[in-house]
Amino acid sequence: MTRIDDTFARLRAAKRKAFVTYIMAGDPDVATALEVMRGLPGAGVDIIELGVPFTDPMADGATIQLAGQRALAGGMTLEKTLQMVRDFRADDNQTPIVLMGYYNPIYNRGVDRFLADATAAGVDGLIVVDLPPEEDSELCIPAQAAGLNFIRLATPTTDAKRLPTVLQNTSGFVYYVSITGITGAAAASAADVAPEVSRIQKASGLPVVVGFGINTPQAAEDIASVADGAVVGSAVVKLIGAGRPVAEVLDLVRALADGVHRG
């Protein structure tokens, strides 16, 4: 049982949905990003997605791309991202942390070294958006063996033929991308999402958390009402990018969390 498994079991017992928040490591600087990260659990976040900045973030919209550029310009690296996790774990040993990013930085570090360092730092799961299931031997299977959940994305174009392949080595939860396209590009619709979530739940037996296109408390509540949880990233990252005070960022997170937990 990972922290992610424990969190979903606890939420299920309480009949609550999971609120997952994404922030970019090192945006706009390490100190501010760590201050935001440390404030997320108190603002109602159940699982933290920590973005690893990368030079070619093909799945991300402008808001997340700019966050990555700011972080990279400030000297953020994979090692410094892992250090953020270590620093967070000094005060919080319960909140799950999922690293979300791309394979290149992991490959450059070396898979074995990365997995050893990530587990030691306190990482619980990985979302690596450019590694398809056909490449599971590269990272997914070694990550599972190291005790990390490997979380896969399913999308509106993941049909019945493709879905079993996508789910074959997935654990922790399934991240359902509610729209076609990049992050922050459109609004998610609960009516469209509901049948897809049900289909994936039945096929996987795992919680299904919905992300992309959720940027208001009402939208978060609507999506959470038909899923096991909701992810918000761009709306939070946009405030950080605008240079708003950490307290204001956490106020938005709290409002979004309240919406999800009403769902």
The predicted structure's pLDDT at residue 212: 87
CA–CA gap between residue 121 and residue 90 (Å, rounded):
10
- Cα separation, 194 vs 159, whole angstroms: 15
The pLDDT score that the predictor gives to residue 178 is: 85
Closest CA to 231 of 102, 112, 111, 98: 98
The CB-side HSE value for 251 (13 A sphere, CA atoms) comes to 6
Give the count of alpha carbons within 13 A of 181, CB side only: 11
Mean pLDDT in the chain? Answer: 94
Q: 236 is written with which tokens?
A: 């939070």
pTM score, whole prediction: 0.95
* CATH number of the domain where residue 256 is located: 3.20.20.70
Backbone angles phi, psi at 101, to 5 degrees: 180, -145
Total number of domains constituting the chain: 1
DSSP secondary structure letter of residue 227: S
Residue ranges of the chain with pLDDT lower than 70?
180-188
* Residue 60: predicted pLDDT: 86
* Angle in degrees, 0-180, between the axes of helices 246-262 and 30-39, rounded to the nearest 10: 30
Catalytic residue flag (residue 49):
yes
Cα–Cα distance list, 184 to 31, 64, 146 (Å): 25, 8, 33
- Range(s) of the domain holding residue 218: 3-262
pLDDT score, position 179: 73
> What pLDDT shows up at residue 263?
83
Q: Is-catalytic flag, 124?
A: no
- Among 5, 27, 60, 196, which one carries the catalytic annotation? 60
One of 49, 117, 124, 196 is an active-site residue; which one? 49
Sheet bearing 149-150, strands edge to edge: 149-150, 125-128, 97-101, 47-51, 18-24, 229-232, 208-211, 174-177, 153-154
